[in-house]
């Protein structure tokens, strides 16, 4: 879902998109940023064991906190979570893709040093090249700060951005400048530019301004061509509109240079027929006595979608060609160059039932549909963006161009190699009752090794593996699977080097590994293949700091939630956090705080190191915290997740109730103090669960920014799981939060929403409140955050929302709502 970071375990200061929404993939590193970023405001945290894990070398000797005998340890609180007491230091190497990096990979990356931007090499510690010697500059008498840096592929010029203004979730607008190699030729590219991309030839730049595309020549330092002339508030060229940015590309770009820079593919998105949604803003300026109304083109389910057309522009011939790809409602979900003049485009119908593949010959201006038209059967086609081009190379056994894609195979997502590119019969590289996550991560074109992240060991873990294009199904471990682990990996442009990040369940660490070395690795912590060049981060300070805190114990397990309608066991992943000094001999003592997200193909039960809101609840309220990934969530195969198709909110609510009943039966649990909290889809699931349960098991609920009626949410997300309302009216009626009298049986519930939410509109909560009014239901509390969007951060709102959640739950467990 196009929801904000509340899909992650709450108040963990988010992993900066380490786990992507919907699929919860790992580290979608934006190589274009080209800076070495320190993620110092991370909180991903987990229980710390008192023993040193086995198999870890002296280089990575862990100093786990040993609990002193009589020393008083501090409890986890909001104060130390918010001030990053438990935040591990994590770095993201932004690798530089040079003109020859696929052949001669030196592991170049851009770092910030002493107020400068410097190109360095992980291979050669003496290599250093200053690209920019200051983070501030002057132009035409005005002072600017450097907010974004992107070098040309040959490193001869640097693109700078300043005056950045956030647009939607991924997009920005800013002032762009160009600096040549001698740092004495600073030129203004333009103000109010939304997107700029270097051509592979290092001479041309394509950029988007006012929804039109321009070509800038660094040879003449002029706009050499205005590519489009029809850009407007209704027509987007080269950049996505709201729904394509949020739900399709998950980014701000809709243009793609060919490998040699001879062609530029882009989307032309016409949203003339899309209805506008007005959002009033009340607290932007104290002087305003009337609200500011901003209108956004937002296609709700069943209404008109934007019409996207794939265009190809021939730079030399200055000619356009439009690609034929279905009707006006067709979604273009991925575009990939699979040769110097060939494009592969993946499309689907608006309900994601059928995937189609189109091959485009840019030189001839012709396109044809590959007979790889595949049905989702009883599920849906999830949008992916990790298809990798594999160029032909006869010396290495690749006679034709091809690509590696992620496809469903025997009910699980696996890697498939298509060669030639118009093939319909792929070679399956992986197979089994486990799933590849957002693969492939990288392909080494010299060795033919494909690297990927997968759940091969455990659905709650992420390990790194490799497979060779010429040796399919022979999977090799890259990370150490003998230990529990959640890994990410970021490869250099030639796939010779990688940043391996261990993210849990213990304290994270990071190391840089070379995969083409024949030398055995003496520093084997985390990886069993490759040679460790150096450790980038060990988080020793955090390990030492944790000795002074009472960390609530976190345990992962599989829960049997009973039988499904076919008589099969429902096995769901879960974890529980026990409060400090937990005593199982107490009777009817502990409240249980359930946290749920539960959206299709999502995941919350992951072995990540984390100390956040859930640990605060456990420590401060002496509560057991439980998280259950029930049916519909991801990484357990199509059968487990596809049950929710056309019927959102049904089995997800059943599974939360089943889990709560098991906890209510435990002798140490106070069955009158079981609550459920969720944000976004989790907020929706909270209300659907309370509605279905009618106060029998869950006595309290906290819902933040919920969808309450799927007719009100965006078309691309909703129709993927529910089809159109015109096709599934009964399903929409059932999925809506509609039974006010059942909600009235709950002891009490809390509803919170931001009035400026451009994603899940405040309209959802307002219509829900109207339903409660009509039914005379009053057993709830409400808090509105003026002008806050879906993340609820405007004007100190993020502190308030979590304070209120904690305080409200404390009142519930103290019995203060029983007399209301």
The CA angle 465-471-476, to the nearest 5 degrees, is 25
**Among positive and negative, which fits the CA dihedral 93, 96, 100, 102?**
positive
Write the DSSP assignment of 333-355 as a string of letters.
EEEEE-SSSEEEEEEE-TTS-EE
Bin 196: left if φ > 0, else alpha if -120 < ψ < 50, else beta: beta
Q: Give 60's DSSP letter.
A: G
Reduced to 3 states (helix: H, G, I; strand: E, B; else coil), residue 5 is helix
Residues in the chain, how many? 820
Residues in contact with 729: Cβ distance below 8 Å, sequence separation at least 6, in sequence order: none
Q: In this structure, how many other beta carbons lie within 10 angstroms of the beta carbon of residue 810? A: 15
- How many whole angstroms separate alpha carbon 199 and alpha carbon 692? 55
- Compute the chain's Rg from CA coordinates: 27
- How many whole angstroms separate alpha carbon 264 and alpha carbon 509? 40
Q: Is 680 a catalytic residue?
A: yes
Residues in contact with 309: Cβ distance below 8 Å, sequence separation at least 6, in sequence order: 267, 268, 269, 270, 322, 323
Token pair of 343, please? 């494009």
Residues in contact with 231: Cβ distance below 8 Å, sequence separation at least 6, in sequence order: 208, 210, 211, 212, 213, 237
Burial class (CB in 10 A: 0-12, 13-18, 19+), 53: middle
- How many whole angstroms separate alpha carbon 792 and alpha carbon 14? 14
**Residue 600 near residue 632 (C-beta atoms within 8 A):** yes
Quickly tell me which residue has 């805190």 as its tokens. Answer: 549
- Residue 14 main-chain phi, psi, to 5 deg: 40, 145
Token pair of 217, please? 């020549």
Q: For residue 726, how many C-alpha atoms fall within 13 Å in the half-sphere facing its CB?
A: 7
Quickly tell me which residue has 């994590």 as its tokens. Answer: 90
- How many whole angstroms separate alpha carbon 772 and alpha carbon 44? 37
Q: In this structure, how many other beta carbons lie within 10 angstroms of the beta carbon of residue 111? A: 17
Token pair of 303, please? 């209404």
The CA angle 727-731-733, to the nearest 5 degrees, is 110
Check 204, 646, 693, 757 and give the catalytic one. Answer: 757
**Do strands 700-704 and 669-679 pair parallel, antiparallel, or not at all (unpaired)?**
parallel
Check 325, 723, 753, 790 and give the catalytic one. Answer: 790
**Residue 502 near residue 551 (C-beta atoms within 8 A):** no
Residues in contact with 699: Cβ distance below 8 Å, sequence separation at least 6, in sequence order: 672, 673, 674, 675, 746, 747, 748, 812
CA-to-CA dists, residue 267 to 193, 216, 343, 591, 638, angstroms = 17, 19, 13, 53, 31
Check 92, 321, 573, 680 and give the catalytic one. Answer: 680
The CA angle 232-233-234, to the nearest 5 degrees, is 85
**Whose CA is closest to 305, among 334, 271, 347, 332?**
271
- How many whole angstroms separate alpha carbon 194 and alpha carbon 187? 17
- Residue 404 main-chain phi, psi, to 5 deg: -110, 130
- How many whole angstroms separate alpha carbon 598 and alpha carbon 652? 7
**Residue 609 near residue 507 (C-beta atoms within 8 A):** yes
**Whose CA is closest to 808, among 685, 704, 680, 706?**
704
Could you give the residue numbers annotated as active site?
A: 680, 757, 790
């Amino acid at each position: 879902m196009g929801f904000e970071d509340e899909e992650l375990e709450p108040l963990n200061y988010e992993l900066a998109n380490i786990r992507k929404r919907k699929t919860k993939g790992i580290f979608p590193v934006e190589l274009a940023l080209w800076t070495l970023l320190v993620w110092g405001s991370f909180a991903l945290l987990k229980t710390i064991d008192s023993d040193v894990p086995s198999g870890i070398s002296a280089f990575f000797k862990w100093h786990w906190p040993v609990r002193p005998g009589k020393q008083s340890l501090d409890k986890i609180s909001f104060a130390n979570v918010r001030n990053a007491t438990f935040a591990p230091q994590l770095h993201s190497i932004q690798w530089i893709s040079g003109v020859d990096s696929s052949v001669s990979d030196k592991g170049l990356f851009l770092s910030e040093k002493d107020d400068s931007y410097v190109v360095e090499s992980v291979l050669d510690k003496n290599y250093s090249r200053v690209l920019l010697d200051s983070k501030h500059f002057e132009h035409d008498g005005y002072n600017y700060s450097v907010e974004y840096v992107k070098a040309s592929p040959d490193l001869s010029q640097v693109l700078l951005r300043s005056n950045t203004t956030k647009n939607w979730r991924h997009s920005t607008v800013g002032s762009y400048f160009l600096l040549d190699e001698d740092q004495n030729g600073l030129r203004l590219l333009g103000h109010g530019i939304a997107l700029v991309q270097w051509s592979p030839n290092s001479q041309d730049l394509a950029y988007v301004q006012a929804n039109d595309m321009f070509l800038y020549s660094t040879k003449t330092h002029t706009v050499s061509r205005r590519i489009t002339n029809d850009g407007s508030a209704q027509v987007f060229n080269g950049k996505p509109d709201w729904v394509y940015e949020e739900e399709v590309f998950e980014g701000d770009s809709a243009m793609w240079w060919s490998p040699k820079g001879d062609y530029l593919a882009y989307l032309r998105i016409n949203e003339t027929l899309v209805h506008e949604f007005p959002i009033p803003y009340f607290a932007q300026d104290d002087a305003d006595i009337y609200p500011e109304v901003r209108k956004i083109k937002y296609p709700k389910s069943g209404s008109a979608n934007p019409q996207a057309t794939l265009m190809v522009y021939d730079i030399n011939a200055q000619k356009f060609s439009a690609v034929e790809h279905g009707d006006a409602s067709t979604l273009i979900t991925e575009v990939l160059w699979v040769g110097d003049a060939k494009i592969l485009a993946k499309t689907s119908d608006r309900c994601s039932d059928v995937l189609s593949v189109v091959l485009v010959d840019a030189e001839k201006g012709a396109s044809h549909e590959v007979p790889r038209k595949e049905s989702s059967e009883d599920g849906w086609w999830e949008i992916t963006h990790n298809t990798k081009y594999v160029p032909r190379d006869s010396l290495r056994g690749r006679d034709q161009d091809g690509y590696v894609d992620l496809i469903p195979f025997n009910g699980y997502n696996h890697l498939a190699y298509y060669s030639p590119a118009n093939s319909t019969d792929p070679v399956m590289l992986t197979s089994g009752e486990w799933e590849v996550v957002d693969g492939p991560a990288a392909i080494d074109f010299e060795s033919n090794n494909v690297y990927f992240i997968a759940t091969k060991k455990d659905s709650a873990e992420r390990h790194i593996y490799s497979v060779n294009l010429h040796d399919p199904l022979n999977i090799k471990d890259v990370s150490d699977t003998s230990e529990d682990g959640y890994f990410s990996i970021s490869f250099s442009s030639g796939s010779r080097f990688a940043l391996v990040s261990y993210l849990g369940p213990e304290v994270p660490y990071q190391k840089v590994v070379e995969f083409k070395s024949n030398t055995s690795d003496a520093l084997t912590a985390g990886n069993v293949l490759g040679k460790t060049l150096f450790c980038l981060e060990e988080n020793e300070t955090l390990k030492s700091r944790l000795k002074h805190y009472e960390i609530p114990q976190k345990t992962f397990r599989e829960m049997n939630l009973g039988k499904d309608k076919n008589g099969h066991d429902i096995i769901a992943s879960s974890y529980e956090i026990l409060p400090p000094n937990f005593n199982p001999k107490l009777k009817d003592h502990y409240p249980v705080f359930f946290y749920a997200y539960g959206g299709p193909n999502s995941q919350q039960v992951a072995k990540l190191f984390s100390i956040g809101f859930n640990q605060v609840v456990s420590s401060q309220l002496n509560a057991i915290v439980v998280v259950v990934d029930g049916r519909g969530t991801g990484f357990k195969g199509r059968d487990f997740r596809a049950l929710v198709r056309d019927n959102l909110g049904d089995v997800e609510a059943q599974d939360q109730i089943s889990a709560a009943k098991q906890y209510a039966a435990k002798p140490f649990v106070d069955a009158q103090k079981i609550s459920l909290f969720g944000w976004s889809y989790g907020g929706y699931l909270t209300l659907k669960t309370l509605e279905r349960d009618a106060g029998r098991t869950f006595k309290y609920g906290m819902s933040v920014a919920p969808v309450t009626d799927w007719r009100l949410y965006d078309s691309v997300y909703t129709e993927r799981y529910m089809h159109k309302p015109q096709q599934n009216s009964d399903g929409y009626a059932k999925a809506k939060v509609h039974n006010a009298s059942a909600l009235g049986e709950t002891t009490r519930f809390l509803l919170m929403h931001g009035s400026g939410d451009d994603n899940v509109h405040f309209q959802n909560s307002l219509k829900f409140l109207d339903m409660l009014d009509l039914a005379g239901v009053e057993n709830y509390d409400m808090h509105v955050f003026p002008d806050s969007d879906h993340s609820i951060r405007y004007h100190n709102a993020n502190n308030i929302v979590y304070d209120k959640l904690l305080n409200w739950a404390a009142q519930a467990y103290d019995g203060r709502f029983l007399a209301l």
